[in-house]
C-alpha cells in the first residue's frame, strides 16, 4: 500500500511539476522576450532623445563618437541611421568600415520606426556576425525627423537570459519534485503505518483478543476506520463478556444440580456433562468429544440416548447399575430438535427413594401382620367367651386372660410404633444435660430388681464412679438402657448375669449392656436393628416382644450423637455397646431437636 500510494503520488507530482514547468517556461520566456524588447524600446527612446539633444555634427567621426558613447552608456549596440537609410554611426563598427555598410532604408525596423515611431526586427547581422534583436526609434533635429536610432542586442544574450531562467526553473522544479516526493513518501509511510496498525488490531480481534485498540487520532478516513474498529472491539468484547457470563451462569446451575446432565451435540458426541453425573457414574473429567456409549459404558443408557436421537422422541427408563457403586437411575433422554441438534439426558438417582419405598412397604406389611395377630386372638377369645362365660367360669377366666394379654401386647405395639414414628419424625424433644452414668445405671437397676430376683439374675453396675459425665438426654438414655436390659432379662436363662458398664474411649464414652445369656447367631447380627426383625418370632411374642425395641434403641442412640453395635455368639452371651459424647464444662446446649438426627 505504501509503495502504491508513493508511486501514485509521485506520478501526480511529476505530472504537476512537468505541466507547471512547461507552462512557466513558456510564459516566462515570452515575458522575458517582451521585457527585453520593451527595455530596448525604452533605451532606443532615450538614445533617440540624446541624439536629438547632441550638438549638430556632419562628420563621420562625430557620429561615430556619439554612437560609441551612447552605446557604452546604454550597454547596447547603437546605430544612427539617417532618413535615407545611410548609416551615420555605429558603436560596434569602426568609422572606416562604415562605408561598406549597405543602405538600411529597407530594413523593417527602420521602416517601422519611421512609419509608426517604433520598429522591431530579429535577424542575422553580417556586420557583427550574430543574430540580433533590433529596436529602432526616430530622432529629430531642428524640429524634423532627421533619422533613426537603432539599438541592438545579440540574441545570444537573450538566449543566455532565457537559459538562465530555464536553469532556475529546472532546479526549482527538481527541488519541488524532491520535496514533494519526500513529503509523499512520509505521508504514504504514515498512512500505511496506520493501516498496518489497523490490520494488527483486526487480526488480534480475529484471534479473539478484544483488548487491542487502534487509538487513532485525527479526522481522516483511516482514523475514522480505526475508531470504528475500536468501537467494534468494544461492543464485541461487551457482547462476549455478556455471553460468557450467561454461559458461566448456566454452567454453574447445571453443575450445581443434583441431577446428572449429559448433552450431546450435532455430531452425537458429548458436549456437556455435569459433576453430579460424574459422581453417579464414577466418570473421569475427559468426557467431552467422546460418544455417550464410550462415556457411560452402560448399554441401556447408550441405547436410550441413541433412541431419543434416532427416533426424535423422548425416551425414559429406570436403569439398575451394578458395579463399584450400585445405583438405580431414572434416565430421561429428550431430543433437541432445534439447531444445534442433540440429546439432553437427565439422570435422577432414585436408589434412596426406591429403598425407602421398599422399607415403607415392608413396614406396613409387618405392622399390619403384627397388629392382626393379637386382634385375631382377642376376637376369637371374645367369641368363645360369649358361649362359655355362663357355663364354664374357669374357661371364661382363661379367655379373659388371653384378651387382656393380647390387649396389652396391642398397646405395647402401638406405643412402640408411636415412639418410633415420633423419633423418626424428630418430634422427640431432646434436652441435653450432664449425666453421671454410674448413678444412672444404679437408679435404673432398682426398676428391674424384682424381675431379676425372680429369675435369680445378678445385675452388676460396672460403670466406674469417677468416669467423666456423659452428654445425653435422660429420657432417651433411660429408654435405651431399659430396652437393652429388658431384652437381656427376657432372653437370658435363670442364674445369668447382666452388667451395665462404661469406659472412656477415643474422646467418647462407650456404654455396654452385657449378659451371659444364650447369645445370637452371627447371621442375625447385621439385621438385628431392623424393625420387626426377630431371631425367634415365637419366643419373642411369648415374652411380649414387639420386634421394635432394638430399632427404637438404634434411632435414639443416633439422635444422641452416638453409634450402636452388637457382639454375640451362640452360648457366649451378648454385648450391646453404644457411644455417647462426653460432657464438657463449656458445653453449648442446643435444645433445638431439629438439629439432632
Ligand atoms: P423384641 O421385642 O422381640 O425383643 P427387639 O428389637 O428388642 O425385639 O430384639 C430383636 C431380637 O433380638 C429379639 O427378638 C431377640 O431374638 C434378639 N435379642 C435382643 N436382645 C437379645 C439378648 N440380650 N440376648 C439374645 N437375643 C436378643
Regarding the beta carbon of 280 and ligand 1, being less than 6 Å apart is answered no
pLDDT at residue 308 greater than cutoff 80: yes
Assign 513 to helix, strand or coil: strand
Burial 398-420 (b: 16+ CB within 10 A, else e): ebeebbeebeebbebbeebbebb
Q: Which residue has the least CA distance to atom 8 on ligand 1?
A: 547
- What mean pLDDT, rounded, does the chain reach? 88
Q: Ligand 1 mean position to 431 CA, how many Å?
A: 28
Regarding the beta carbon of 573 and ligand 1, being less than 6 Å apart is answered no
Q: Which residue has the least CA distance to atom 16 on ligand 1?
A: 535
pLDDT number for residue 259: 93
Q: Which residue has the least CA distance to atom 21 on ligand 1?
A: 487
pLDDT number for residue 176: 83
Q: Ligand 1 mean position to 572 CA, how many Å?
A: 15
Mean pLDDT confidence for 340-363:
91
Give CA–CA dist 307/431, Å, rounded: 57
On whether the pTM is more than 0.85, the answer is: no
pLDDT number for residue 589: 57
Which atom of ligand 1 is found nearest the CA of 550?
6
Q: Which residue has the least CA distance to atom 11 on ligand 1?
A: 534
pLDDT band at 590 (very low <50, low <70, confident <90, very high): low
Sheet containing 130-141: order of strands: 87-90, 77-82, 144-154, 130-141, 119-125
Nearest 5°: the CA angle 126, 131, 137 is 90
23-27, 112-116, 137-141, 581-585: which range is least confident on average?
23-27
* Measured CA distances, 19 to 29, 173, 368, 435 (Å): 15, 10, 120, 119
* 385 and 399 Cβ atoms separated by less than 8 Å: yes
pLDDT band at 597 (very low <50, low <70, confident <90, very high): very low
Regarding the beta carbon of 488 and ligand 1, being less than 6 Å apart is answered yes
Q: Ligand 1 mean position to 4 CA, how many Å?
A: 103
pLDDT number for residue 352: 92
Mean pLDDT confidence for 12-36:
84
Regarding the beta carbon of 406 and ligand 1, being less than 6 Å apart is answered no
> Among 499, 531, 550, 569, which residue has the most ligand 1 atoms within 8 Å of its CB, making it the best to mutate?
550
pLDDT at residue 595 greater than cutoff 50: no
Q: Which residue has the least CA distance to atom 2 on ligand 1?
A: 545
For strands 77-82 and 144-154, give the pairing.
antiparallel
- Helices of type H across 430-500: 437-454, 474-491
Q: Ligand 1 mean position to 561 CA, how many Å?
A: 23
pLDDT tens-digit map of 56-103? 777 888 888 888 999 999 888 999 998 888 888 888 888 888 888 888
Regarding the beta carbon of 536 and ligand 1, being less than 6 Å apart is answered yes
Greater confidence (237 vs 581) lies with 581
Sheet containing 270-273: order of strands: 270-273, 260-264, 342-349, 327-336, 315-321
Regarding the beta carbon of 540 and ligand 1, being less than 6 Å apart is answered yes
Q: Ligand 1 mean position to 446 CA, how many Å?
A: 22
Helix (H) or strand (E) holding 95: none
For the stretch 86-92, contacts whose Cβ atoms lie closer than 8 Å and that sit 24 or more positions apart, written own/partner, are: 88/60, 88/63, 88/147, 89/60, 89/62, 89/63, 89/64, 89/65, 90/64, 90/127, 91/67, 92/127, 92/128
Regarding the beta carbon of 77 and ligand 1, being less than 6 Å apart is answered no
Regarding the beta carbon of 516 and ligand 1, being less than 6 Å apart is answered no
pLDDT at residue 465 greater than cutoff 90: yes
pLDDT number for residue 492: 94
Give CA–CA dist 24/166, Å, rounded: 9
Greater confidence (476 vs 223) lies with 476
pLDDT band at 593 (very low <50, low <70, confident <90, very high): very low
pLDDT tens-digit map of 194-233? 888 888 888 988 888 888 888 878 888 888 888 888 888 8
Regarding the beta carbon of 534 and ligand 1, being less than 6 Å apart is answered yes
% of the chain exceeding 70 in pLDDT: 98
Q: Ligand 1 mean position to 443 CA, how many Å?
A: 23
Greater confidence (488 vs 292) lies with 488
pLDDT tens-digit map of 501-552? 999 998 999 999 999 999 999 999 999 999 899 998 888 888 888 899 999 9
- The single residue listed with the C-alpha cell 520598429 is 119
pLDDT at residue 388 greater than cutoff 80: no
131-135, 281-285, 483-487, 494-498: which range is least confident on average?
281-285
pLDDT number for residue 479: 94
Q: Which residue has the least CA distance to atom 18 on ligand 1?
A: 487
* Measured CA distances, 573 to 35, 242, 480, 562, 564 (Å): 148, 71, 19, 23, 17
For strands 87-90 and 119-125, give the pairing.
unpaired
Q: Ligand 1 mean position to 487 CA, how many Å?
A: 6
Cis peptide before 340 (omega within 30 of 0): yes
Which atom of ligand 1 is found nearest the CA of 533?
10
Q: Ligand 1 mean position to 535 CA, how many Å?
A: 7
Amino acid at each position: 500500500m505504501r509503495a502504491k500510494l508513493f508511486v501514485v503520488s509521485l506520478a501526480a507530482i511529476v505530472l504537476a511539476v512537468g505541466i507547471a514547468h512547461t507552462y512557466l517556461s513558456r510564459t516566462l520566456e515570452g515575458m522575458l522576450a517582451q521585457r527585453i524588447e520593451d527595455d530596448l524600446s525604452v533605451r532606443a527612446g532615450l538614445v533617440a532623445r540624446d541624439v536629438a539633444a547632441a550638438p549638430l555634427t556632419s562628420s563621420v567621426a562625430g557620429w561615430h563618437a556619439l554612437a560609441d558613447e551612447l552605446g557604452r552608456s546604454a550597454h547596447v549596440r547603437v546605430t544612427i541611421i539617417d532618413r535615407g537609410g545611410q548609416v551615420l554611426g555605429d558603436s560596434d563598427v569602426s568609422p572606416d568600415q562604415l562605408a561598406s555598410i549597405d543602405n538600411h532604408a529597407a530594413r523593417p525596423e527602420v521602416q517601422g520606426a519611421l512609419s509608426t515611431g517604433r520598429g522591431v526586427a530579429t535577424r542575422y547581422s553580417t556586420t557583427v556576425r550574430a543574430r540580433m534583436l533590433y529596436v529602432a526609434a526616430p530622432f529629430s533635429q531642428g524640429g524634423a525627423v532627421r533619422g533613426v536610432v537603432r539599438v541592438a542586442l545579440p540574441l545570444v544574450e537573450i538566449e543566455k537570459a532565457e537559459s538562465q531562467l530555464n536553469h532556475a526553473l529546472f532546479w526549482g522544479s527538481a527541488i519541488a519534485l524532491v520535496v514533494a516526493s519526500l513529503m509523499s513518501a512520509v505521508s504514504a509511510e504514515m498512512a500505511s503505518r496506520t493501516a498496518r496498525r489497523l490490520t494488527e488490531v483486526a487480526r488480534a480481534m480475529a484471534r479473539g483478543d478484544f483488548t487491542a485498540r487502534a487509538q487513532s487520532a485525527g479526522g481522516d478516513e483511516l482514523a475514522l476506520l480505526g475508531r470504528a474498529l475500536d468501537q467494534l472491539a468494544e461492543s464485541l468484547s461487551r457482547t462476549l463478556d455478556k455471553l460468557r457470563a450467561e454461559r458461566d451462569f448456566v454452567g454453574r446451575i447445571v453443575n450445581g444440580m443434583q441431577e446428572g446432565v449429559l448433552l450431546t451435540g450435532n455430531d452425537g458426541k458429548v458436549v456437556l456433562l455435569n459433576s453430579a453425573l460424574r459422581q453417579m457414574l464414577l466418570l473421569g473429567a475427559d468426557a467431552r468429544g467422546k460418544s455417550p456409549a464410550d462415556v457411560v459404558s452402560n448399554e441401556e443408557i447408550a441405547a436410550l440416548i441413541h433412541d431419543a436421537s434416532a427416533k426424535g422422541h423422548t425416551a425414559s427408563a429406570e436403569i439398575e447399575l451394578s458395579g463399584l457403586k450400585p445405583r438405580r437411575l431414572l434416565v430421561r433422554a429428550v431430543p433437541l430438535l432445534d439447531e444445534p441438534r442433540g440429546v439432553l439426558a437427565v439422570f435422577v438417582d432414585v436408589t434412596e427413594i426406591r429403598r425407602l419405598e421398599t422399607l415403607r412397604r415392608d413396614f406396613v406389611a409387618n405392622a399390619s401382620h403384627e397388629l392382626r395377630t393379637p386382634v385375631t386372638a382377642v376376637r376369637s377369645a371374645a367369641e368363645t367367651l360369649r358361649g362359655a362365660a355362663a357355663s364354664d367360669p374357669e374357661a371364661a377366666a382363661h379367655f379373659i386372660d388371653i384378651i387382656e394379654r393380647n390387649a396389652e401386647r396391642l398397646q405395647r405395639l402401638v406405643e412402640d410404633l408411636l415412639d418410633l414414628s415420633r423419633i423418626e419424625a424428630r418430634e422427640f424433644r431432646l434436652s441435653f444435660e450432664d449425666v453421671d452414668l454410674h448413678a444412672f445405671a444404679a437408679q435404673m437397676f432398682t426398676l428391674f430388681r424384682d424381675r431379676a430376683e425372680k429369675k435369680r439374675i445378678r445385675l452388676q453396675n460396672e460403670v466406674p464412679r469417677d468416669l467423666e459425665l456423659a452428654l445425653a438426654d435422660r429420657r432417651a438414655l433411660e429408654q435405651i438402657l431399659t430396652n437393652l436390659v429388658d431384652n437381656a432379662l427376657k432372653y437370658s436363662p435363670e442364674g445369668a448375669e447382666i452388667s451395665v458398664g462404661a469406659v472412656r474411649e477415643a474422646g467418647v464414652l462407650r456404654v455396654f449392656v452385657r449378659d451371659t445369656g444364650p447369645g445370637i447367631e452371627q447371621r442375625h447380627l447385621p439385621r438385628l436393628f431392623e424393625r420387626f426383625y426377630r431371631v425367634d418370632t415365637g419366643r419373642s411374642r411369648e415374652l411380649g416382644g414387639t420386634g421394635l425395641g432394638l430399632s427404637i434403641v438404634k434411632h435414639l442412640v443416633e439422635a444422641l450423637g452416638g453409634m450402636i453395635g452388637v457382639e454375640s455368639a451362640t452360648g457366649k452371651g451378648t454385648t450391646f455397646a453404644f457411644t455417647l459424647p462426653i460432657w464438657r464444662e463449656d458445653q453449648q446446649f442446643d435444645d433445638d431437636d431439629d438439629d439432632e438426627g
